[in-house]
């Protein structure tokens, strides 16, 4: 038994010296790909945590706010480079949460830090904003100029000429019935060849300003309520709304404006850290991953537009 113990001990030492760089055992950081952010008392804190064992990796950057990272330019991108302070900490607690550690002015007294390694670092944020109208048609399919670049943002089509290109316009034909309610892709397979076409001629309903072909624009078929919503104007409930009933052609209630449009915004904020100088770490740079948007305010998740009426 003693021989076996000695043999195991020897193997252990062989591994220790052959696997490490010199006499120091390098630590390889093992956090997942997302990070969080909050405004701490010393500045903006970017952090990630893990359990078993409990560890945190955080960067504090003074004179930076989350809004600064979302202020993209006309090309919807932004590169932000800052100097910060990185901390790699280990804890004896079996469970830790990032908000407890970094987002409270006075952290919980239950937190027990075992090791705290600190280094200055260079932080590079890359922000990319994408916008969508969530109208049931992928943005790439709304690039109907077919200019060959597969980018809906360049030379975009604006069917109703209201200033909102189709890929950002949740009512593409400006008839005050949302595109998603005009069934552009009934079976949801991404192929629009089965788009609803009520009058059976010409354009599908989502691009057709007079859906039932009765000579009255859909947006003007507001028989009962003048609320920029022709869906709730129904003379014959057996057939449905008047804008889909060619036998009802009411010209008394022309629309005077478009309904308000909502455009969703998605920010992807990735962070790379360079210039880490901590002896026990085997790396001097670290891909911090992508910011989870849990701390981004609702103002940054959507915007509303009331298009110019024409």
Length of the chain equals: 310
State the nearest-atom distance from the C-beta of 159 to Ca ion, in Å: 6
State the nearest-atom distance from the C-beta of 66 to Ca ion, in Å: 29
State the nearest-atom distance from the C-beta of 269 to Ca ion, in Å: 26
State the nearest-atom distance from the C-beta of 149 to Ca ion, in Å: 19
Residue among 55 and 172 whose Cβ is closer to Ca ion: 172
State the nearest-atom distance from the C-beta of 310 to Ca ion, in Å: 10
**Can you tell me the distance from the alpha carbon of 242 to that of 219, in angstroms, rounded to the nearest whole number?**
10
Residue among 55 and 143 whose Cβ is closer to Ca ion: 143
Residue among 55 and 205 whose Cβ is closer to Ca ion: 205
Residue among 55 and 142 whose Cβ is closer to Ca ion: 142
Residue among 54 and 176 whose Cβ is closer to Ca ion: 176
Mind spelling out the 3-state secondary structure of the chain? CHHHHHHHHHHHHHHHHHHCECCECCECCCCCCEEEEEEECCEEEEEEEECCCCEEEEEEECCCCHHHHHCCCCCCEEEEEEEEEEEEEEECCCCCCHHHHHCCCCCCCCCCEEEEEEEEEEEEEEEEEEEECCCCCCHHHHCCCCCCCCCCCCCCCCCCCCCCCHHHCCCCCCCCCCHHHHCCCCCCCCCHHHCCCCCCCCCCHHHCCCCCCCCCCHHHCCCCCCCCCHHHCCCECCCECHHHCCCCCCCCCCCCCCCCEEEEEEEEEEEEEECCCCCCECCCCEEEEEECHHHCCHHHCEEEECCCCC
State the nearest-atom distance from the C-beta of 94 to Ca ion, in Å: 50
State the nearest-atom distance from the C-beta of 260 to Ca ion, in Å: 14
Residue among 55 and 242 whose Cβ is closer to Ca ion: 242
Positions touching Ca ion (CB under 5 A) are 133, 135, 158, 160, 162, 164, 166, 169, 172-173, 175, 205, 208, 211-212, 214, 242, 245, 248
**Can you tell me the distance from the alpha carbon of 193 to that of 304, in angstroms, rounded to the nearest whole number?**
30
For Ca ion, the nearest residue by Cβ is 169
Residue among 256 and 295 whose Cβ is closer to Ca ion: 256
């Amino acid at each position: 038994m003693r021989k076996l113990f000695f043999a195991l001990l020897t193997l252990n030492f062989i591994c220790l010296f052959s696997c490490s760089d010199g006499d120091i055992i390098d630590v390889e950081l093992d956090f997942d790909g997302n990070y969080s952010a909050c405004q701490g008392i010393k500045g903006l804190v970017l952090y990630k945590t893990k359990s078993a064992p409990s560890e945190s990796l955080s960067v504090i950057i003074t004179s930076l706010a989350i809004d600064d990272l979302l202020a993209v330019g006309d090309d919807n991108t932004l590169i932000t480079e800052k100097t910060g302070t990185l901390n790699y900490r280990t804890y004896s607690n079996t469970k830790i949460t990032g908000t407890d550690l970094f987002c409270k002015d006075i952290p919980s007294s239950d937190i027990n830090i075992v090791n705290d390694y600190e280094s200055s670092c260079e932080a590079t944020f890359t922000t990319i904003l994408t916008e969508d109208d969530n109208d049931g048609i992928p943005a790439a399919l709304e690039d109907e100029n077919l200019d060959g670049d597969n980018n809906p943002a360049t030379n975009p089509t604006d069917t109703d000429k209201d200033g909102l290109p189709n890929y950002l316009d949740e009512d593409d034909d400006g008839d005050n019935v949302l595109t998603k309610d005009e069934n552009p892709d009934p079976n949801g397979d991404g192929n629009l060849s089965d788009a609803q076409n009520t009058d059976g001629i010409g354009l599908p309903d989502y691009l057709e300003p007079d859906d039932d072909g009765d000579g009255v624009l859909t947006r003007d078929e507001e028989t009962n309520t003048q609320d920029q919503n022709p869906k709730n104007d129904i003379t014959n409930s057996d057939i449905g709304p008047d804008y889909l009933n060619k036998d009802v052609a009411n010209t008394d209630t022309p629309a005077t404006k478009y309904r308000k449009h909502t455009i969703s915004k998605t920010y992807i904020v990735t962070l790379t850290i360079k210039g880490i100088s901590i002896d026990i770490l085997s790396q001097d740079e670290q891909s911090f991953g992508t910011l989870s948007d849990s701390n981004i305010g609702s103002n940054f998740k959507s915007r509303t537009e009331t298009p110019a009426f024409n």
